[in-house]
A = this chain, B = another copy of it.
């Protein structure tokens, strides 16, 4: 909050690349959101390393600009569907970290009462229809949510996030076809982080990525997924278009995951080089890119960023604290919620 106020002091309205008018405070808000995700994920890694977290988790570090740039263009009642790498989407759509950590630790106050865990985290009130551990499956559910929004004339839009690996799943083409035929308010957001687990996407993906949605008559744009301003601007346009009944859109965000495929994927040399990792971290970091730009534009200074970061770290630390202290679900929970 303090940072917000400082931002206000230096604020004057800016016109971004795409011509949209964005309040500088909004950019700082996005910085905060990205940093919160990073900080959240660092805590997750820490919990894993300390053997405090059951199972595994897929960290979103490096990809923060995608979730934030897209979700900032959504209303709370809009829908998203997410992936195994879903913490970032969940936070960006407005979930609170304490209940998220509780979920990751399998505790009762978790968003899903501890029954879902990292790969199934959902936040119904916030419009997050859930992470999904079946690659590509979220695209079907989001298309269905868009179909429902259209039938209910609710004005809602659905966004589905998925990795470029999901381009391998036939389901995606089936639902894109129907979304296009029926002009459904859905936006497909492909996070191209170069790898399907341990395999480079060029080994798994023939032709031009962007030609695929285009083949179904869906407009597509490729954006720098490390530049939150670019993501925001493109997503906003597609989301508006969808909301106005003009049909689906497809955004390809070029991005990178800094960590392993999951927290246990430590030795990565056999599939990607340290140099590549370092290059992305140093040259293409979404937080750095935004803070540099804001600084260059004299819209913020180091103190503001430090303040934001400090607050985020504190927030995450106390959220972890909350989760660690939270109780496990009662044994009786095991048979509940199988049926409504």
Interfacial residues, chain A to chain B (CB-CB below 8 A): 167-174, 176-178, 180-181, 203-208, 211-212, 214-218
Closest 8 CB pairs of A and B: A170-B170, A207-B217, A180-B206, A211-B215, A215-B215, A173-B173, A206-B217, A212-B215
**A202, closest chain B residue (CB):** B181
Q: Does A169 contact B180, Cβ atoms closer than 8 Å?
A: no
A214 contact from B168, B207, B217, Cβ within 8 A: B207
Majority SS of interface residues in chain A? helix
User: For A173, what are the chain B residues with a Cβ–Cβ distance below 8 Å?
Assistant: 170, 173
Of the candidates B177, B203, B215, B218, the one whose C-beta lies within 8 Å of that of A208 is B215
Let me know if A181 and B168 touch, CB within 8 A.
no
State whether A174 and B170 are in contact (beta carbons under 8 Å apart), knowing that A215-B215, A216-B207, A217-B207 are contacts in the complex: yes
How many whole Å from A204's CB to the nearest CB in chain B?
A: 7
Would B211 and A206 count as touching, CB distance under 8 A?
A: no
- The complex is assembled from copies of this chain, and their number is 2
Q: How far is the CB of A249 from chain B (nearest CB, A)?
A: 14
Which residues on the B side are within 8 Å of A176 (C-beta)?
206
From residue A198, how far is it (CB to closest CB) to chain B in Å? 17
* 9 A–B pairs (Cβ distance < 8 Å), ordered by A: A169-B170, A176-B206, A177-B205, A181-B203, A206-B216, A207-B218, A208-B217, A212-B215, A214-B215
Give chain B residues whose Cβ lies under 8 Å from the Cβ of A170.
169-174
Instruction: Name the B residues within 8 Å of A215 (CB-CB).
Output: 207-208, 211-212, 214-215
In the complex, what distance in Å separates the CA atom of A288 from the CA atom of B65? 62
The residues of B that contact A180 with a CB separation of less than 8 Å are 206-207
